Structure 1
Amino acid sequence: MAIAIAIIIVPIVLGLWRASQGDGLVHDWLGQGMPLSISAKLAGVLVTLCLLSLAAGVVVAIRQTVRLSAPMTMLADRAERLGAGESRIQPLHSGIAELDQVSEVLSRSAQRLTKSLASERDFASDASHQLRTPLTALLMRLEEIAVTDDLDVVQEEASIAITQVERLTRVVDDLLSRSRRGVDEPKASVSLDSVIAALQREWQPAFEQARRSVRVHGERGLAVQAKPVDLSQVLSTLLENSLAHGRGTVDVHARRSGPSVVVEVSDQGEGVPAAIAPHIFERSVTTSGTGLGLALARDLAESNGGRLELIQAQPAIFALFLSESDAI
């Protein structure tokens, strides 16, 4: 404001001073020429106004600097914390539009970073769990081969082990493709009988070692809309869960239910505790282990257009619902 006033006043004073130095064009009210003392006073006024304008400009600049310094320091601190990996950055409300806009960008970047890190952690956990189950079954096959001298048994176990390695390879390929594309491919048609039969062979040594068995019954010749790798993983998780927490014979029962195919997996154990049953598919909710298996199985079922439910807690009965397919 002071600078604007100075810009208006200074030209006027300069005009009067120049006029006072002229050839008598400016006269006072008595008709006499302007005395030299008045001219000197005008020059003094001009210098004073210039000094006042300069001082006002300095004061305004100092105040503006003080007004900007604190928000700039806070903004720099937020940027440094984001660079150090902190994910919770609160937006800055300084009243300065430009600074607040930069602060909003930093806050959104921090939120995206948090989501990205959480997604990567979940992917790593899911990948390790998906790989652990087939590796465990493969290890059991290799141990069976190592302790037998019967060539027929060795050949049979080796054939099943090769099948397990192929499934493990498909699991790895599926994980890699899922991380690259970020979306699921269209669901394929798969024979439910073939998937269950392969899993029964894979898990047979583990259940025999625990002196238990797996019984498959129900309708045959069913086909479902799902990726074979995902379907195998979901059912493997249910078998592993029953082996770890259940007792007696494990029943795998397949049937039609309207347009869907339902696969129920149950055993003769005590079932799921009442306190855990409502949260059984939540991550990190478990009686033992990692707590990832059932949560991951549910996610895989949903990604294939189905759902996984605990339809009875005691004894436990899990039901996998998938859309029936007309062709394989």
Structure 2
Amino acid sequence: MRRRIISLTVLAALVATVLFALPLGIAVMKYYHDDATTGLERAADAAALAVSHELSAGLTPEVPPPADEDEAETEVGVYSPEGRLLAGHGPAAGGPIERQAASATVDVVTGTEGDDLVLAVPVLSGSRVTGVVRAALPESTLTLRIALTWHGMAGLGIVAIGASWLMARRFTTRLVRPLEELAAAAGQLGAGDFTARSPRAGIAEIDRVGEALDATAARIAETLERERAFSAEASHQLRTPLTGLRLQLEAALETPDADPRAAIRAGIASADRLERTIEDLLALGRERRAPRAELALDALLEEVRQAGEALLAPHGRTLRITRQDPPPARVAAAAVRQVLGVLLDNAATHGRGTVTLVARDAGGALAIDVADEGPDLGETDPFATAAAGHGIGLRLARSLAEAEGGRLRLSRPDPPTFTLLLPTDEPGGERNDSPRSTRSVQ
């Protein structure tokens, strides 16, 4: 790319120089030719004035030296009307130019004789031609002047092209170096280094590309970090149905005389819940932006009741589910199901007694409380990784709730009560205040 930019710049400078130099060269040639003709006419007129008196008197004229140094190479000669050289420099016999001037039909006659540019003017005494003044300049002198000027123009053109080459190298380095650094940053990003950042070059277009690349690197790093954390926390979430399945199988082994079909049915149900958990986690692991359907709360609570009873029954504990006029919400059922699964598992593992789940209206939000009769949590933060073992699953549940625009918090430490708040589907949190029945599911 560097070589291509330099080549194109030099080529553009060369084309511009040639296109400018051609008409200028022609203009220079015409200028020198006109200037030489003017000089010859000036020298001839001066000589004609100087010799007009001698010619009128029939005396031999004396040609004065040129007054201008630029006319030093000009040959001036005085001829008789018959074409014979009387004084000065020139051929002994005049040519057609001198004869034409002697006819007194024109004031000035110009032309080329041999290798000379010639100009002739008649010398008059009244209406009578007394002589002809011939001024001549060698064509080689005129050609040399034109050639020297053209060489100077060519030198300036070469200097201009060389300057264009140097400037192209300088600006190409300034342009290409940021692109090379940008490519290096992209290579580091492709190699997995998401901390790589592209430097700023001070060129708006390249800086915008760098900013876009940096934003992409940050998003990729954030996405990978989120997926890694989600995978670690999801693996903890899968242990709950596996633990329930294991307890059911161990209970069946301890009672070999019991009907195995009940244990098999319970194992299949636990396997179904495990499969459903995996499907939920995979669905929630994808970044979905489609509008959510309205949460089917009754069906969800029934699934939670079955999972909770399977989890608590081996410990001789019960689950109590109550609805208190809950408003509708548009959230992912998989997310709510997994959050409640974490809370039930937490209550089964760390709590005691009956577990109570209440779905209620929280002033424009759907609130689901999960409480048990366990010990007071005091100042403990159950969402932090601690020796008590709360952290991983509860952190996953909180992240799932926040992804749905909700919140999960410890609303009361004694008895331990966790509250899941989910936004309603109506603007501004308004809802229909028609009474709903309050019922319990045992």
| TM-score, with structure 2 as normaliser | 0.58
Matched, 1:313 2:413: yes
Matched, 1:173 2:173: no
Take 1:220 and 1:97, find their aligned partners in 2: how far apart are those partners?
59
- 2:370 corresponds to which of 264, 267, 270: 264
For the 8 Å contact 1:250–1:265, the answer to whether it is kept is no
> Residue 418 of structure 2 aligns to which amino acid in structure 1?
F
Moved more, 53-62 or 176-185: 176-185
> Residue 237 of structure 1 aligns to which amino acid in structure 2?
V
Matches within 5 A, 1:120-135: 120-135=227-242
Take 1:325 and 1:60, find their aligned partners in 2: how far apart are those partners?
81
Matched, 1:296 2:396: yes
For the 8 Å contact 2:343–2:370, the answer to whether it is kept is no
For the 8 Å contact 1:251–1:267, the answer to whether it is kept is yes
Take 1:186 and 1:319, find their aligned partners in 2: how far apart are those partners?
20
Matched, 1:160 2:266: yes
Can you list the C-alpha shifts for 1:231-268, whole angstroms capped at 9, x where unaligned? 5543442343234444xx33222456457564432233
Distance 1:200 1:305, change over 3 A: farther
For the 8 Å contact 1:233–1:297, the answer to whether it is kept is yes
Distance 1:100 1:220, change over 3 A: closer
Matches within 5 A, 1:15-26: 15-19=26-30, 26=36
Residue 311 of structure 1 aligns to a residue whose secondary structure is strand
Residue 250 of structure 1 aligns to a residue whose secondary structure is coil
Partner of 1:139: 246
- 1:42 corresponds to which of 129, 133, 149: 149
Partner of 1:241: 346
Distance 1:214 1:13, change over 3 A: same
Matches within 5 A, 1:98-137: 98-137=205-244
Residue 27 of structure 1 aligns to a residue whose secondary structure is helix
Can you list the C-alpha shifts for 1:282-302, whole angstroms capped at 9, x where unaligned? xx5333448331123334556
Considering only CA atoms, is the larger Rg found in Structure 1 or Structure 2? Answer: 2
Moved more, 182-191 or 133-142: 182-191
**Greater helix share, structure number:** 1
Take 2:321 and 2:385, find their aligned partners in 1: how far apart are those partners?
31
Can you list the C-alpha shifts for 1:206-239, whole angstroms capped at 9, x where unaligned? x3xxxxx424457589999687765554344234
Q: Which runs of 5+ in 2 are unaligned?
A: 1-9, 42-135, 425-434
Partner of 1:285: 385
Distance 1:113 1:221, change over 3 A: closer
| TM-score, with structure 1 as normaliser | 0.74
Residue 95 of structure 1 aligns to a residue whose secondary structure is coil
Distance 1:19 1:195, change over 3 A: closer
For the 8 Å contact 1:189–1:227, the answer to whether it is kept is no
Give the aligned length.
311
- 1:251 corresponds to which of 346, 354, 358: 354
- 2:201 corresponds to which of 94, 98, 101: 94
Matched, 1:58 2:158: no
- 1:203 corresponds to which of 302, 308, 312: 312
Take 1:132 and 1:139, find their aligned partners in 2: how far apart are those partners?
10
Residue 78 of structure 1 aligns to a residue whose secondary structure is helix
Distance 1:7 1:60, change over 3 A: farther
- 2:37 corresponds to which of 2, 19, 27: 27
- Percent identity over the alignment is 29
Structure 1 residue 158 displacement after superposition: 2.8
Higher relative contact order (CA 8 A, sep 6+): 1
Structure 1 residue 6 displacement after superposition: 5.2
Take 1:231 and 1:123, find their aligned partners in 2: how far apart are those partners?
16
Residue 255 of structure 2 aligns to a residue whose secondary structure is coil
Take 2:348 and 2:209, find their aligned partners in 1: how far apart are those partners?
55
When the two chains are superposed, the root-mean-square deviation of aligned CA atoms in Å is 4.1
> Residue 14 of structure 1 aligns to which amino acid in structure 2?
G
Structure 1 residue 11 displacement after superposition: 4.1
Partner of 1:210: none
Take 1:227 and 1:39, find their aligned partners in 2: how far apart are those partners?
89
Partner of 1:214: 317
Structure 1 residue 135 displacement after superposition: 0.9
> Residue 104 of structure 1 aligns to which amino acid in structure 2?
E
Structure 1 residue 81 displacement after superposition: 1.3
> Residue 312 of structure 1 aligns to which amino acid in structure 2?
R
